[in-house]
A = this chain, B = another copy of it.
Amino acid sequence: MNGNLTLIEEVRKQCPLVHQITNVVTVNDCANITLSCGASPVMADAPEEVAEMARLASALVLNIGTLKVEQVDAMIQAGISANEKGIPVVLDPVGAGATTLRTRTTKKLLEEVRIAYLKGNAGEIATLTGERAEVRGVDSGHVGIDIRTLAINAAKKWDLTVIVTGEKDVITDGAMWAEVSNGHPLMGAITGTGCMCAPVVAAFAAVSKEPMTAAISAVTTYGIAAEKAATMAKGPGSFRQGLFDALYSLDGDTIKEYAKVEWGRV
């Protein structure tokens, strides 16, 4: 971890293509946040084209927010294609724990695709590691374990970088941990703030060889954009619009000034 928090500047330079197979609720938000951080989104989930599209991309996001059984095969195909090309895959197990289909599908994806980043709320991640967890629709409820420990367990279990979003976002690869305290409560007043984090991580991952650096930089940048948006917002509608504005114009100096990151060795 080299402490590089200004990776967004590299994203803007390279404009990586981020292939996303995602849900119908926040797909538009995910495309727009990808553009706002300087990358280029492409949404494609037909089994007949996902492998081809993933080969064109620099990162892949898999989000099961409105999962259909037919999509699972497309996600696996795209994932394998991404693995072959060597581009990072970000998995967002939306609602894992809420229904059997979502839990089972997430486990299948973790088995059949080499996932680089697993990003979810505490309830979702705890469900996957077998901890006691409450998941209420797509929201996290109480989990019976310290979040940092939870994240570390998950990172070790699947040998990947874990991002557990929440009041503090916890990031770990099993060897290092970081906690990011940026962000704003209004993020919970709109849909999609969880989903949008994944393409931001994917865009940053596409331009960095260090997963912890990419994840910390992405989560911090996104959280600071939310803080900036909140200062101008009159409520969730204007906050949502302001989030795209703020991320689009955020510069490296501001990120360094506002970043609230703690970290250490596991």
Please give the residue numbers on chain A whose beta carbons come within 8 Å of chain B beta carbons, in ascending order: 17, 19, 23-29, 31-32, 35-36, 40-46, 48-49, 52-53, 56-57, 65-69, 95, 98-102, 136-139, 188-192, 233-238, 240-246, 248-249
> Known interface pairs A32-B191, A36-B189, A49-B100. Does A43 touch B17 (Cβ–Cβ under 8 Å)?
no
B52 touches A66 (CB 8 A): no
State the Cβ distance, A76 to closest chain B Cβ, in Å.
17
What are 14 of the A-B contact pairs (CB < 8 Å)? A25-B28, A28-B28, A32-B190, A32-B237, A35-B188, A35-B236, A42-B95, A42-B98, A46-B66, A46-B69, A52-B101, A53-B98, A237-B243, A240-B244
A28 touches B236 (CB 8 A): no
Residue of B nearest to A242 (CB): B237
Q: Which residues from B are CB-within-8-Å of A48?
A: 69, 100-101
CA distance A111 to B10 in the complex (A): 44
Residue of B nearest to A24 (CB): B24
Q: Binding site of A, secondary structure by majority: helix, strand, loop or mixed?
A: mixed
> Known interface pairs A40-B137, A44-B66. Does A244 touch B248 (Cβ–Cβ under 8 Å)?
no
CA distance A130 to B26 in the complex (A): 35
Q: Which residues from B are CB-within-8-Å of A17?
A: 136-137
B234 touches A245 (CB 8 A): yes
A19 touches B137 (CB 8 A): yes
B46 touches A67 (CB 8 A): yes
Q: Which residues from B are CB-within-8-Å of A69?
A: 46, 48
A-B pairs with lowest CB-CB distance, top 10: A235-B245, A42-B137, A237-B244, A237-B241, A31-B191, A49-B99, A49-B101, A235-B248, A237-B245, A52-B99
Q: Name A40's contact: one of B36, B136, B246 (CB within 8 Å).
A: B136
B25 touches A26 (CB 8 A): no
CA distance A244 to B256 in the complex (A): 32
B234 touches A238 (CB 8 A): no
Q: Name A45's contact: one of B27, B46, B66, B237 (CB within 8 Å).
A: B66
> Known interface pairs A28-B192, A190-B32, A235-B248. Does A46 touch B240 (Cβ–Cβ under 8 Å)?
no
State the Cβ distance, A24 to closest chain B Cβ, in Å.
5
State the Cβ distance, A20 to closest chain B Cβ, in Å.
9
Q: Which residues from B are CB-within-8-Å of A139?
A: 40
State the Cβ distance, A66 to closest chain B Cβ, in Å.
6
State the Cβ distance, A98 to closest chain B Cβ, in Å.
6
CA distance A238 to B248 in the complex (A): 11
CA distance A49 to B135 in the complex (A): 15
Q: Which residues from B are CB-within-8-Å of A19?
A: 137
